[in-house]
Copies of this chain bind each other. A is one copy, B any other.
Amino acid sequence: MKKPSKPPIIHHPWKIITDRFDPAFIPAYESIFSIGNGYMGQRANFEEDYSGPHLQGTYIGGIYYPDKTRVGWWKVGYPEYFAKVPNSPNWIGIHIQVGDEILDLAKGQVTDFRMELDMQTDVLTRELSFRFPSGKDICIQSQRFISMHTKSLGVIRYRITPINFDETIKISPYLDGGIKNSDANYGEYFWDVQQILTGQDHDAYLIAETRKTRFGVCTGMQNRFYVNGKAITPPKITIKSDKKITFDYSIPLRQGDILILEKYAVVTHTLNYPYDQLQDENREILKKAAGNGWEKLLQNHINAWKKIWETADVQIQGDVAAQQGIRYNILQLNHTYTGHDPRLNIGPKGFTGEKYGGGTYWDTEAFCLPFYLGTKNKEVAKNLLLYRFRHLPKAIENAEKLGFSGGAALYPMVTMNGEESHNEWEITFEEIHRNGAIVYAIYNYVNYTGDESYIRDYGMEVMIAIARFWAQRFGFSKPKGKYVLLGVTGPNEYENNVNNNWYTAYIARWNLEYTLDWIERLRIEHPEHWKRIEKLTGLRPDEIQHWRELSANIYFPYDPERQIYLQQDGFLDKEIRPASTIPDEQRPINQHWSWDRILRSCFIKQADVLQGMYFFENHFTRDSLKRHFDFYEPLTVHESSLSPCVHAVLASALDMDQKAYELYLRTARLDLDDYNAEVHEGLHITSMAGTWMAVVQGFGGMRTFDGQLSFRPKLPKAWTSLGFKINYRDRLLRVYITRQSVKIENLSDKPVRFRLFENEIHLPGGEHTELSFQKHNA
């Protein structure tokens, strides 16, 4: 797909709007205006035919297909397949025909056009005027939503008005199972369409199974018609083919008539129902939905979103672009994951595209968890953790494939079902720091929520298995007299197969220490739990002893002259020069430089040492943080969307306000402004959580280290106020920062303690505190 130029999006605090029709932008619009509800998602494809370049995309959470791996040179340990979310049967499609002419925006003249995604209600509306080649003019309005109230339901309201003619219009809602993944490695089709059934009430069902994995999916539709506000039941012709069912309705219209089709669609699948009940369950939901009708369903949907916005909204005054950007990120995160099912997770593109296959990366633990901790009740974050807990046996198998033993676990780089999907040795086998983030997420959850029961019920097994991995993965260097970590790739993927990557070694050591600490605590505080875990894992005292010895003797590369930790062995043998010396036309370097050139340069893709200092900010002095930031940030090209947010948080903490704001801007509207000219491939969902982090932890200055909530807020110059809410240990707090003051309200009925700058505050339920900056700065 050719890269379009930037799609024009109109600024608005609550709406995403475009009014420009241009075939070059359609693939980008399809991503930007995507909708979803965590259960399923839909690109903003047109309901009617469209023959221009675009990517038809309907995706269902938790369903995957094992696509045969494409690899140049096979290495032992590579997975046989890459598990991908399959592009699923199309439920939105409606063919429209007027006379001999099929409605296709690529074949005629679009004289007026507007798409609008209302973020408050999460309804996608499209309005347009169209002139057929014959000169006939029509007006179309389509509205649709995927219900946040009834997860399996999508509803479309499609309105047609003939402007300058009287004629019978053929309108043909359909279900199509003949959809292919654009990212299929060998062009394979991922589905078997098993049954196509029709019901008694203009309803139809397409039952398809994924090949190999045999996930069953039933997609149902039911149709209702209105002319000029009056319900009609036009005659129906049913057309079935191997993979598609269409109902043809021919409806005579006069100039100015308003024809409305309400298409109700329901997706049920075998993650939730037995295969042989898929159709019955689908029919029931469909029947109820059609009975309720558009208005009632919409109200339920809006109410559900109201609850989400109540805790998740971030309010920025004085900068409508920033306001739009942050709300858009929150919206799309909720499209992707709502935490209702521990079998689901967050793909880097959510349900908005096929790149990266929809699998789970360390993005979830490292970047997304804080957003869900902060904006939802703790069960949601817990479900993200349970996802990994459920995959522990597969992580142990994965480590065994790479030669580890004794219950050591290596979590996969990319996964859908716990098995590794990734196949690039320097990442699949060497980017093992991902194990560290799994434990960090446990810490983050327990520390943030105070729910220590998670450790004994689930976390400890994972922590022990990961500690076992580290214990085997470190080697002992005789010349250094220390334990070393050879042949790894850090978060900075612009270095491969390096020795002693500081971040990986540091988080590994912390994993060991955290695990050892909790073993001690459980032994004393919950001996019965500890006995069970000891038995279950077969953990031996000599293992614990080895972990102690290992964690106390790990080698970290260090430069005494600059007083900084080095990203890896030999880093200073490189020519050190700032990224600003790279000519613009060579950026991004990963699109212009050969890989070896990137590797031997000093340039950093995303936070690496600084990622560690972000996670463990409380381990370092401010001076040390500043030295490391000043050394590493200028070398960083931020060519991962996950990079600027971490730097923005650190820059805020270091009072580098201008830098923090610049870095924040790089992610906040990444997709809306299509900075990287790649939004047509899908949205950068996981980095959207990083934007939230940059606001709440960066400008809000919120920290929760060691169970101590604290804030050091500051307002970017461009804004007049910033407000956000935080759910912390079951207390809902509202933070409101203006140029003059910061106000923190405790919206719960329980007291909360926190530190605001240097002030220790104890805030009873329902009360608020306000600190004027003047006073603080005085």
A→B interface (CB under 8 Å) = 69-73, 75-77, 401-403, 423-426, 429-430, 475-480, 484, 486-487, 496-499, 569-570, 572-575, 590-597, 599-600
- Tell me the complex Cα distance, A725–B76, Å: 44
- Tell me the complex Cα distance, A593–B429, Å: 11
Which residues of the other chain, B, contact A72 by a CB distance below 8 angstroms? Answer: 69-72, 423-424
Instruction: Given the known inter-chain contacts A486-B574, A600-B486, please indicate yes or no for A595 contacting B76, CB distance below 8 A.
Output: yes
- Tell me the complex Cα distance, A570–B557, Å: 13
Let me know if B596 and A499 touch, CB within 8 A.
no
Closest to A187 in B: B186
Query: Min CB distance, A729 to chain B, in Å?
Result: 41
- Tell me the complex Cα distance, A476–B577, Å: 13
Let me know if B476 and A595 touch, CB within 8 A.
no
Q: Provide a sorted-by-A list of 29 A–B residue pairs whose CB atoms are within 8 angstroms.
A: A69-B72, A72-B423, A76-B590, A76-B591, A76-B593, A76-B594, A76-B595, A77-B594, A77-B596, A401-B594, A402-B594, A402-B597, A425-B594, A425-B596, A426-B426, A426-B497, A429-B594, A475-B573, A475-B575, A476-B575, A478-B572, A486-B570, A486-B599, A496-B496, A496-B497, A497-B497, A497-B498, A499-B570, A569-B569
Query: Min CB distance, A294 to chain B, in Å?
Result: 45
Which residues of the other chain, B, contact A591 by a CB distance below 8 angstroms? Answer: 76
Let me know if A77 and B484 touch, CB within 8 A.
no
Which residues of the other chain, B, contact A592 by a CB distance below 8 angstroms? Answer: 76
- Tell me the complex Cα distance, A570–B573, Å: 13
- Tell me the complex Cα distance, A77–B573, Å: 25
Which residues of the other chain, B, contact A424 by a CB distance below 8 angstroms? Answer: 72-73
Which residues of the other chain, B, contact A425 by a CB distance below 8 angstroms? Answer: 594-596
Let me know if B572 and A477 touch, CB within 8 A.
yes
Closest to A590 in B: B76
- Tell me the complex Cα distance, A647–B167, Å: 88
- Tell me the complex Cα distance, A403–B592, Å: 9
Q: A429-B595, A475-B573, A475-B575 are in contact. List 11 more A-B contacts (CB 8 A).
A: A73-B424, A75-B595, A77-B595, A77-B596, A402-B597, A430-B596, A476-B575, A480-B573, A484-B573, A487-B600, A496-B496
Query: Min CB distance, A681 to chain B, in Å?
Result: 14
Instruction: Given the known inter-chain contacts A425-B596, A594-B401, please indicate yes or no for A573 contacting B477, CB distance below 8 A.
Output: yes
Which residues of the other chain, B, contact A499 by a CB distance below 8 angstroms? Answer: 570, 573
Which residues of the other chain, B, contact A596 by a CB distance below 8 angstroms? Answer: 77, 402, 425, 429-430, 487
Closest to A427 in B: B73
Could you say which of B429, B479, B597 contacts A572, with CB atoms under 8 Å apart?
Answer: B479
Which residues of the other chain, B, contact A496 by a CB distance below 8 angstroms? Answer: 426, 496-497
Which 7 A/B pairs are nearest by Cβ-Cβ distance?
Answer: A77-B594, A429-B596, A487-B600, A477-B573, A486-B600, A75-B595, A425-B595
Which residues of the other chain, B, contact A595 by a CB distance below 8 angstroms? Answer: 75-77, 425, 429
Query: Min CB distance, A412 to chain B, in Å?
Result: 13
Query: Min CB distance, A604 to chain B, in Å?
Result: 15
Query: Min CB distance, A589 to chain B, in Å?
Result: 9
Which residues of the other chain, B, contact A70 by a CB distance below 8 angstroms? Answer: 70-72
Which residues of the other chain, B, contact A430 by a CB distance below 8 angstroms? Answer: 596
- Tell me the complex Cα distance, A403–B582, Å: 13
- Tell me the complex Cα distance, A426–B498, Å: 13
Which of A77, A425, A487, A569 has the most CB atoms of chain B within a 10 A radius of its CB?
Answer: A487
Let me know if B75 and A594 touch, CB within 8 A.
yes
- Tell me the complex Cα distance, A480–B575, Å: 12
Which residues of the other chain, B, contact A498 by a CB distance below 8 angstroms? Answer: 497
Instruction: Given the known inter-chain contacts A71-B70, A596-B430, please indicate yes or no for A479 contacting B402, CB distance below 8 A.
Output: no
Query: Min CB distance, A395 to chain B, in Å?
Result: 15
Which residues of the other chain, B, contact A484 by a CB distance below 8 angstroms? Answer: 573
- Tell me the complex Cα distance, A596–B399, Å: 12
Which residues of the other chain, B, contact A590 by a CB distance below 8 angstroms? Answer: 76
- Tell me the complex Cα distance, A402–B592, Å: 9
Query: Min CB distance, A414 to chain B, in Å?
Result: 12
- Tell me the complex Cα distance, A590–B77, Å: 10
- Tell me the complex Cα distance, A77–B594, Å: 5
Which of A425, A477, A499, A595 has the most CB atoms of chain B within a 10 A radius of its CB?
Answer: A595
- Tell me the complex Cα distance, A271–B570, Å: 50
Query: Min CB distance, A384 to chain B, in Å?
Result: 27
Query: Min CB distance, A95 to chain B, in Å?
Result: 34
Let me know if B403 and A594 touch, CB within 8 A.
yes
- Tell me the complex Cα distance, A71–B574, Å: 29
Let me know if A593 and B403 touch, CB within 8 A.
yes
- Tell me the complex Cα distance, A430–B497, Å: 13
Which residues of the other chain, B, contact A597 by a CB distance below 8 angstroms? Answer: 402-403
Query: Min CB distance, A80 to chain B, in Å?
Result: 13
Which residues of the other chain, B, contact A77 by a CB distance below 8 angstroms? Answer: 594-596
Which residues of the other chain, B, contact A402 by a CB distance below 8 angstroms? Answer: 594, 596-597
- Tell me the complex Cα distance, A99–B27, Å: 64
Closest to A402 in B: B594
Closest to A76 in B: B594
- Tell me the complex Cα distance, A496–B488, Å: 12
Which residues of the other chain, B, contact A426 by a CB distance below 8 angstroms? Answer: 426, 496-497
Which residues of the other chain, B, contact A475 by a CB distance below 8 angstroms? Answer: 573-575, 600
- Tell me the complex Cα distance, A429–B575, Å: 19
Query: Min CB distance, A764 to chain B, in Å?
Result: 55
Closest to A424 in B: B73
Which residues of the other chain, B, contact A594 by a CB distance below 8 angstroms? Answer: 75-77, 401-403, 425, 429
Query: Min CB distance, A756 to chain B, in Å?
Result: 45
- Tell me the complex Cα distance, A73–B573, Å: 28
Which residues of the other chain, B, contact A569 by a CB distance below 8 angstroms? Answer: 569-570
- Tell me the complex Cα distance, A90–B458, Å: 64
Closest to A589 in B: B76
- Tell me the complex Cα distance, A591–B75, Å: 8
Query: Min CB distance, A499 to chain B, in Å?
Result: 5
Which residues of the other chain, B, contact A574 by a CB distance below 8 angstroms? Answer: 475, 477, 486
Which residues of the other chain, B, contact A71 by a CB distance below 8 angstroms? Answer: 70-72
Which residues of the other chain, B, contact A476 by a CB distance below 8 angstroms? Answer: 575
Which of A72, A476, A497, A600 has the most CB atoms of chain B within a 10 A radius of its CB?
Answer: A72
Query: Min CB distance, A79 to chain B, in Å?
Result: 11
Query: Min CB distance, A72 to chain B, in Å?
Result: 4
Closest to A478 in B: B572
Closest to A561 in B: B479
